[in-house]
C-alpha cells in the first residue's frame, strides 16, 4: 500500500498538462489547452485540459479525470499502478508497506507481464554487449549495418542465444514464472505439457533463437513486445518473428518507435511513417527523430489514431519498389479518412529509408526528404496517369480512383481545395468532380457509415439512472438544483454569508453561517434527500468529512477513489468552466460569483423546494383520482396546505403566480 503522504506528493507533482502532453499534442486556448481526444476517434479537437483545476475533460466522449485517471485509462493501469507510473516520471520514491504472501499472489497479472518483458529486454541487451556469441554475431551485425553504438543503446537492441532454452532457463532461475513467460510470448509451451498441470521450466522453450532483438515499447516507454530478425540465410525460416498477441501487446494498435518519436513529432508537427525497425533506427541516426513504423503490418485505424494524437500531418516514406508504392497508396486512403494531412516520398532505385541513408550523408538524407516530399494528390495523379498512356477508359478509371480518395477527406474545405486542384491537373470542370464526390459521400452515409460517436457514460451513473419511467421522472425533478448546491458547497463551503432568520420570539436577526452550514441546515430542516443517487452519494461524503472535522473541497472530490464521485466532481468543474468561456467569447464578463453567494445559494434552495412541492402536489392530485371517497377531504387539505407553502416559496423566489 502506498502511504497517503506519498500519494499527495505524487498528485501535487503530476501537473495534468504535462502528463497529458506526453501523449497528445496540446495547444493553448485561453487559460486551458485543447487537443484530440486519445480515448475516441475524433478529427476536431474537443479534449480540454484545465491546469488551474488540474483536470481534463472530453466534450466528445465524456471522458474526464485527473492526471492519475488519465494514466489509468490510457495505459490500462490500476490506481496504485498509475501512481507508481507517475512517481517514476517525477522521480518520487515510493516506499510501500510489506505485503503478505496472499496479497502478493493476487498482484495484477498485467503488471507481472510488464515486469517479465522488462527482464527480457535487459537479458537480450546484456547478451549483445557482454557475451562472446552476442558480440561476434549480434553486435557485429548491427555494426556492419552502420549503426553507431549510441543508437544501439538508445533503442535497447539485443541478441537471443542459439541455445533453445537459454532465456527460459535464466528467467525461471531468477524467479520469473514459466506461466508468464508463455503469456508474454517469450516462451512457447511444448507438446509434452499436460493441460491442467502447472507450467514448469521443462514444459517451455524460447520463441527467439539466434536472432537480433528489437524491443517494442508502448507510448509510455514500457517494453510490450519484441521483433526478432534472423541472421542466417535459411529461407525456410521467417526473416522476422514478432511477439504474438498478448494482454499487453496488440500489434494493430502499436507503432514501433513512437515512444522515442512523440516529442519530436510534436515539435515538428509532422510524423514520418516507414515500414520497418531498421528504417526508424537509420532515420534517428541521420538526425530525424519524428518517425514511426507500422512494423511490417498493414497500417490500421488504431495506429493512425495513435499518431493523430500528436499531429495532423504525416509523410509516408515507403520503399521505391512497386510493392512499396502499392502499400503507400493503400495507406493514404486510410489516413485521409481519419482526417490526416498526407504527403508521400518514394526512394529511388528500390531503396528504403534504411538503405538510402547508408548511401548518403545525414545532411544529404534530410535534403532529399525536403526536396522530394510531395502532396498525396500530385503523387497519386502523376503515378496513375502515367499508367493510362492516353487510353480514355483507363483515364476515366484513374479519375474515379482519385475522386474516391478525395471523397474520404472529412473536412469540406480541404475537399474543395483538392477538387479544384484535381480538376486543373486533369483538365476537367470542377462541378463534375464535385458531383462525383458528393455522390460517393452520400452513398457512404446512406449505408450507415460515419456514425457519430456516442458519449460514454460512467457505469455507476448508468446503473443509477436506469430503471422505471417513474424513477427517471423523479430524477429530473430538481436535479439541476441538486447539482448547483453541490457545486456551491464544493467551491465555497467555508465562505461566510449573512442569513436573516427569526428567533423564538419572532424577532429578526442576522446570522453568520458558512455556505455549507446554511445548505445542510436547510436540507435537514425539511428532511430533503437528493433524488439523484450520485448527488446524494457526494452529499453523504461531504457530511461524513465534516463530522471528521475536515472541510472537503473540490480537490478532495476530484481525486476521490470512487470513480462515480470523482467523475461527477470533474464534470461539474468542466461544465462551469465551459459556460464561463462561452460567455467570455461573446464579450460578456462574468462577475465574480463570490460577491453574490448569498443570493445564489438562497435562490437555489428555494427553487429546489418549489420543485419538490410541485411534485408532491402533483402526486397527491393523481392519488385523489383513485382514492376512496372518505379520504378525499384529508387529501384536499394536504394539497391546499402544500399549495400555500409553495406560494410563499415562489414569493421568496420573486415569482408572480398567476391563477
Q: What is the pLDDT of residue 605?
A: 87
The confidence score (pLDDT) of residue 526 equals 78
DSSP assignment of 564-620 equals HHHHHHHHHHHHHHHHHHHHHHTT-PPPPGGGGHHHHHHHHHHHHHHHHHHHHHHHH
pLDDT in tens, 608-625: 888 888 888 888 888 888
Neighbouring C-beta atoms of residue 14, cutoff 10 Å: 23
pLDDT band at 493 (very low <50, low <70, confident <90, very high): confident
pLDDT confidence bin for 205, thresholds 50/70/90: very high
Over residues 129-187, the pLDDT tens digits come to 999 999 999 999 999 999 999 999 999 999 999 999 999 999 999 999 999 999 999 99
pLDDT digits (tens, 9 = 90+) for 403-416: 888 888 887 888 88
CA 341 from centre of chain: 21
pLDDT at 461: 29
pLDDT at 634: 82
C-alpha cell recorded at residue 265: 513529432
pLDDT given at position 147: 95
What is the spatial distance between Cα 301 and Cα 291, in angstroms, rounded to a whole number?
A: 18
Contact 24, 38 (CB under 8 A): yes
Give 610's contacts (C-beta < 8 A, 6+ positions apart): 646, 649, 650, 653
Percentage with pLDDT > 90 across the chain: 24
Look at 235 and 389; give whichever has higher pLDDT.
235
Question: b/e per residue, 371-382, with b = 16+ CB within 10 A?
Answer: eebeebbebbbe
Assessment of whether the complete model's pTM goes beyond 0.85: no
Give the pLDDT confidence score for residue 659 in this predicted structure: 38
Q: What is the mean pLDDT of residues 611-640?
A: 83
Average pLDDT value for residue range 238-245: 91
Handedness of CA 352, 355, 360, 361 (dihedral sign): positive
Task: Using pLDDT thresholds of 50, 70 and 90, give the confidence band for residue 11.
Answer: confident
- In this prediction, residue 124 carries a pLDDT of 97
Residue 278 reports pLDDT greater than 90: yes
Name every residue whose Cβ is closer than 8 Å to that of residue 633 and which is 6 or more positions away in sequence: none
Per-residue confidence (pLDDT) for residue 458, from 0 to 100: 33
pLDDT in tens, 285-338: 999 999 999 876 788 888 998 888 888 899 998 765 555 566 666 788 889 888
On the 0-12 / 13-18 / 19+ scale of CB atoms within 10 A, 105 is: exposed
pLDDT in tens, 361-406: 989 999 999 998 988 877 777 667 667 767 778 778 888 888 888 8
Average pLDDT, stretch 490-494? Answer: 84
pLDDT of residue 312: 86
Separation of alpha carbons 28 and 198, rounded Å: 55
Q: Tell me what the mean pLDDT of segment 417-443 comes to.
A: 82
> Does the pLDDT of residue 59 top 80, yes or no?
no
Domains and CATH numbers, the chain: 4-104 (3.90.580.10), 108-249 (3.90.980.10), 378-446 (1.20.50), 459-653 (no CATH)
- Please determine, for residue 111, whether its predicted confidence score (pLDDT) is greater than 70: yes
CB count within 10 Å of CB 589 equals 8
* Average pLDDT rounded to a whole number, residues 432-437: 84
C-alpha cell at 258: 513512437
87-91, 413-417, 493-497 — which one is most confidently predicted on average?
A: 87-91
Higher pLDDT, 438 or 387: 438
Mean pLDDT is lowest, of 43-52, 96-105, 328-337, 543-552, for 96-105
Condensed to tens digits (0 to 9), the pLDDT of residues 539-565 reads 888 888 887 778 888 888 888 877 778
What is the chain's alpha carbon radius of gyration, rounded to the nearest angstrom?
32
* pLDDT at res. 215: 97
C-alpha to C-alpha distance for 606 and 484, rounded to whole angstroms? 12
Amino acid at each position: 500500500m502506498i502511504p497517503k503522504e506519498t500519494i499527495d506528493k505524487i498528485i501535487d507533482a503530476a501537473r495534468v498538462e504535462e502528463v497529458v502532453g506526453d501523449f497528445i499534442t496540446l495547444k493553448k486556448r485561453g487559460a486551458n489547452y485543447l487537443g484530440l481526444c486519445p480515448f475516441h476517434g475524433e478529427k476536431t479537437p474537443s479534449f480540454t485540459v484545465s491546469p488551474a483545476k488540474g483536470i481534463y475533460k472530453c466534450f466528445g466522449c465524456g471522458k474526464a479525470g485527473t492526471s492519475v485517471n488519465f494514466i489509468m485509462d490510457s495505459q490500462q493501469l490500476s490506481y496504485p499502478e498509475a501512481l507508481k507510473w507517475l512517481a517514476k516520471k517525477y522521480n518520487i520514491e515510493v516506499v510501500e508497506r510489506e505485503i503478505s504472501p496472499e496479497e502478493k499472489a493476487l498482484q495484477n497479472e498485467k503488471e507481472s507481464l510488464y515486469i517479465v518483458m522488462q527482464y527480457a529486454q535487459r537479458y537480450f541487451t546484456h547478451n549483445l554487449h557482454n557475451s562472446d556469441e552476442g558480440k561476434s554475431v549480434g553486435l557485429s551485425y548491427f555494426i556492419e549495418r552502420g549503426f553507431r553504438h549510441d543508437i544501439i543503446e538508445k533503442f535497447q537492441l539485443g541478441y537471443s542465444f542459439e541455445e533453445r532454452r537459454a532465456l527460459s532457463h535464466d528467467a525461471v532461475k531468477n524467479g520469473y514464472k514459466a506461466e508468464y513467460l508463455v503469456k508474454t510470448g517469450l516462451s512457447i509451451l511444448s507438446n509434452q505439457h499436460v493441460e491442467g498441470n502447472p507450467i514448469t521450466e521443462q514444459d517451455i522453450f524460447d520463441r527467439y533463437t539466434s536472432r537480433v532483438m528489437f524491443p517494442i515499447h508502448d507510448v509510455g516507454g514500457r517494453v510490450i513486445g519484441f521483433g526478432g530478425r534472423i541472421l542466417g540465410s535459411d529461407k525456410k525460416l521467417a526473416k522476422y518473428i514478432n511477439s504474438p498477441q498478448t494482454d499487453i501487446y496488440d500489434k494493430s494498435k502499436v507503432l514501433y518507435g513512437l515512444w522515442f518519436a512523440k516529442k519530436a513529432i510534436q515539435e515538428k508537427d509532422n510524423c514520418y511513417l516507414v515500414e520497418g525497425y531498421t528504417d526508424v533506427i537509420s532515420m534517428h541516426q541521420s538526425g530525424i527523430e519524428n518517425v514511426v513504423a507500422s512494423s511490417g503490418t498493414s497500417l490500421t485505424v488504431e495506429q493512425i489514431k495513435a499518431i493523430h494524437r500528436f499531429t495532423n500531418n504525416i509523410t509516408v516514406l515507403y520503399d521505391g519498389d512497386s510493392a512499396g508504392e502499392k502499400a503507400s497508396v493503400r495507406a493514404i486512403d486510410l489516413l485521409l479518412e481519419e482526417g490526416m494531412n498526407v504527403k508521400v516520398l518514394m526512394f529511388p532505385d528500390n531503396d528504403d529509408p534504411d538503405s538510402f541513408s547508408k548511401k548518403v550523408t545525414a545532411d544529404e538524407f534530410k535534403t532529399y526528404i525536403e526536396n522530394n516530399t510531395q502532396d498525396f494528390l500530385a503523387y497519386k495523379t502523376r503515378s496513375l496517369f502515367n499508367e493510362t498512356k492516353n487510353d480514355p477508359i483507363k483515364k476515366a478509371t484513374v479519375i474515379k480512383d482519385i475522386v474516391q480518395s478525395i471523397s474520404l477527406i472529412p473536412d469540406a474545405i480541404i475537399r474543395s481545395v483538392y477538387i479544384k486542384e484535381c480538376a486543373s491537373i486533369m483538365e476537367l470542370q470542377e462541378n463534375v468532380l464535385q458531383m462525383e464526390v458528393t455522390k460517393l459521400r452520400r452513398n457512404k452515409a446512406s449505408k450507415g457509415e460515419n456514425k457519430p460517436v456516442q458519449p460514454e457514460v460512467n457505469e455507476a451513473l448508468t446503473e443509477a439512472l436506469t430503471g422505471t419511467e417513474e424513477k427517471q421522472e423523479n430524477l429530473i425533478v430538481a436535479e439541476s438544483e441538486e447539482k448547483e448546491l453541490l457545486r456551491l458547497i464544493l467551491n465555497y463551503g467555508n465562505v461566510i454569508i449573512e442569513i436573516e432568520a427569526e428567533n423564538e420570539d419572532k424577532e429578526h436577526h442576522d446570522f453568520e453561517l458558512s455556505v455549507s452550514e446554511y445548505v445542510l441546515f436547510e436540507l435537514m430542516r425539511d428532511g430533503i434527500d437528493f433524488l439523484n443517487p450520485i448527488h446524494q452519494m457526494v452529499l453523504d461524503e461531504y457530511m461524513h468529512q465534516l463530522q471528521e472535522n475536515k472541510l472537503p473541497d473540490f480537490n478532495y472530490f476530484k481525486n476521490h477513489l470512487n470513480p462515480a464521485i470523482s467523475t461527477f466532481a470533474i464534470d461539474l468543474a468542466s461544465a462551469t468552466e465551459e459556460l464561463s468561456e462561452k460567455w467570455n467569447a461573446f464579450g460578456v464578463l462574468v462577475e465574480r460569483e463570490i460577491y453574490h453567494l448569498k443570493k445564489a445559494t438562497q435562490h437555489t434552495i428555494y427553487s429546489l423546494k418549489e420543485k419538490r412541492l410541485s411534485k408532491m402536489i402533483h402526486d397527491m392530485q393523481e392519488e385523489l383520482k383513485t382514492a376512496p371517497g372518505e379520504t378525499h377531504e384529508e387529501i384536499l387539505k394536504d394539497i391546499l396546505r402544500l399549495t400555500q407553502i409553495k406560494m410563499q416559496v415562489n414569493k421568496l423566489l420573486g415569482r408572480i403566480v398567476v391563477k
